[in-house]
Amino acid sequence: MFKKILIANRGEIACRVIKTARRMGIATVAVYSDADALAPFVQMADEAVHIGPAPAAQSYLIPEKIIAACKATGAQAVHPGYGFLSERTSFAEALAAENIAFIGPPVGAIAAMGDKIESKKLAKAAGVNVVPGYVGEIDDTDHAVRIAGEIGYPVMMKASAGGGGKGMRLAFSEKDVREGFESVKREGLNSFGDDRVFIEKFIENPRHIEIQILGDQHGTILYLNERECSIQRRHQKVVEEAPSPFVSPEMRKAMGEQCVALARAVGYYSAGTVELIVSGADKTGQSFYFLEMNTRLQVEHPVTEAITGIDLVEQMIRVAAGEKLAMTQDDIGIDGWAIENRVYAEDPYRGFLPSTGRLVRYRPPLAGWTDDGQANGRRGVDGVRVDDGVYEGGEVSMFYDPMIAKLVTWGQTRDEAADRQIAALDAFEIEGLGHNIDFVSAIMQHPRFRSGELTTGFIAEEYPEGFHGAPASAELQRALAGIAAFLATARADRARRVDGQLGKRLRPPSQWSVLVGGQTFAVELAGDEVTVDGALLDLAMEYTPGDSLVEAEVDGDVLGVKVKPTRGGFQLTTRGAIHQVQVLPARVAAYRAHMIEKIPPDLSRFLICPMPGLLVSLNVAEGDSVEAGQPLAVVEAMKMENILRAEKSGTVKTVHAKAGESLAVDAIILEME
């Protein structure tokens, strides 16, 4: 077994590998860029080596710097994590030349399966179902248009070396191909150093299901069940679960055996994932097609670990050291259900715009209960695992992936795992930048998610007008009214005690008028009793002004609520939505009608940069006429290109930016007449 390994990655996956290595008694070496000097993974590792500036192309993507760090520290092996150099054959070959073990698959398997075009050719030759498409190289946009027409719309354009949702565009028409083909090429080149693109038929109403593979160097290859990864946004996974609510035991066996055969054809060992697309319209579950094989550890591997009890990182290390797998296919079972939500630095209330900045507050939910049942006044959530690599006061920069953390919950049933997600998300505190906690909580509560009727179009279909918060039931609004009155009383009581030091006596009112979601509730607090509109509310909670999170027991259920005082009330965030709650003493409630509503200015004549990023291209000039919906500019942020379109028809009056400039959020790109 290795005595020391180096992790050629950063963030949460570096922390994840370090934890397992530490448990195995293996020393670890971290490598870090300027931006990560204070990151948790650097502090966790036994040693750390600085490898360059913040941009990945100048640090994490340079094999020579990784190898030099291995030599300087005596690391015997390298775990690449995911992304960066994890699927680059030249890196694995360079390590082998220096007699440094690669904790991953053999070079031949990476080469065969890491290239999406070549992998489809190989899969087809091996008798594996593949999606109809064109797997040769595409010359230019006109060639792409001809191919798409021959395949039949809709089609998907993909960067050959792509992954993680980058370098992908869905096209329903020739116009879409002409608009998106060059962007796909650029994203492929910028993110993976490869601008080749292939085109395939888009399977409508598809489910995205993947099979976890694990093999050793002695010929044993196993499948560790499946993961459902259908809930995606812009082809980036948001929610993953294991097992899939769609897959039957017979389908699982058929998929698993086919994926094992494919892995065996390329001499695969280590952990890997075969991604499949399944037609949701096929109730027999037999219409599944090969998409690609990821020759590395997946972001969503914790859900497989949760239902199998197998530490995939440990197995990867043992396999790389030449050990045999200590299990057989018959040993692989399914214990309960696990769900993973990716917590991203993006603002769902503003069209999921990427968000960068400092984590002014970062308090993930506690995993389970502490010895005394509480810690810092917060109750833990059973069956919770948080994989992260950030810290309070740290910065989420534009240089790397926007994922802040992975929240994983386990339960005996799918509903129990989802309920634990909701409770954990209520307790997850992030301030300082936009995040998607409310959004993933809303998904967990959505009737369609609960039914298991999922497709990759879930988000687009269920939130066609964008996300505005999860709908609040009448029971939740009633509970929030009681909670807000309790908070207001506590705030007023504190003011009374402070004022009392000056010799004055003030008593907080017992009757409140509370406005929640456009509805006004009459709330009365009398001793330990709370009534809302005359009906008793069973409410128990504690609050000290300044607390950012409270836990209220309402009618026997625990409700985590994030609290932010506002003028005349509170902003209460819970159950996937932000609630602006106004609280007034009943005797002055009539004054509320006299509050003046501020009407926001009309900014539709400006093209405003929605996120910090690079202006890749500007498609119009001063004096040009444009139509509503016409692409005006392309902005790249966090390795993704975003097309900005005209909100309405008009004429360009002034251009304020030019291609190649770095823009701040809300920077004006151009102004219409």
What is the DSSP track for 402-465?
A: -EEEEEEEEESSHHHHHHHHHHHHHT-EEESS---HHHHHHHHH-HHHHHT---TTHHHHH-TT
Q: Give the integer Cα–Cα distance in Å for 661 and 613.
A: 9
Q: Is 292 designated active site?
A: yes
Q: Are residues 401 and 638 in contact, defined by beta-carbon separation less than 8 angstroms?
A: yes
Q: Provide the β-strand partners of residue 637.
A: 640
Instruction: With H, G, I as helix, E, B as strand and everything else as coil, classify residue 244.
Output: coil
What DSSP state is assigned to residue 82? S
State which H helix or E strand residue 77 sits in.
strand 77-79
Q: Where are the alpha helices (DSSP H) in 39-173?
A: 40-44, 63-73, 89-97, 107-114, 116-125, 141-151
Report residue 143: phi and psi, to 5°.
Answer: -65, -40
Choosing from 292, 305, 429, 641, which is the catalytic residue?
A: 292
Q: Give the integer Cα–Cα distance in Å for 555 and 244.
A: 33
377: left (phi over 0), alpha (psi -120 to 50) or beta: left
What DSSP state is assigned to residue 205? S
Q: Give the integer Cα–Cα distance in Å for 247 and 256.
A: 11
Token code pair at residue 600: 């926001």
Nearest by Cα to 92 from 82, 79, 83: 79
State which H helix or E strand residue 668 sits in.
strand 668-672
Three-class SS of 284-340:
CCCCEEEEEEECCCCCCHHHHHHHHCCCHHHHHHHHHCCCCCCCCHHHCCCCCEEEE
Token code pair at residue 419: 């309920």
Q: Give the integer Cα–Cα distance in Å for 556 and 558.
A: 7
Number of helices (H) and strands (E) in the chain: give both, helices first. Answer: 16, 42
Residue 304, class by beta-carbon neighbours within 10 Å (0-12 exposed, 13-18 middle, 19+ buried)?
buried
Note the Cα 459 to chain centre separation in Å.
Answer: 13
Q: Give the integer Cα–Cα distance in Å for 510 and 590.
A: 17
Per residue in 413-430, is it b (16+ CB within 10 Å) or e — as a string?
ebebbbbbbbbbbbbbbb
What DSSP state is assigned to residue 34? G
Q: Where are the alpha helices (DSSP H) in 159-300?
A: 174-192, 249-265
Q: Are residues 573 and 579 in contact, defined by beta-carbon separation less than 8 angstroms?
A: yes
Residue whose structure tokens are 């709330």: 523
Q: Give the integer Cα–Cα distance in Å for 230 and 452.
A: 10
Q: Are residues 208 and 306 in contact, defined by beta-carbon separation less than 8 angstroms?
A: no
Which residues form the catalytic set? Answer: 292
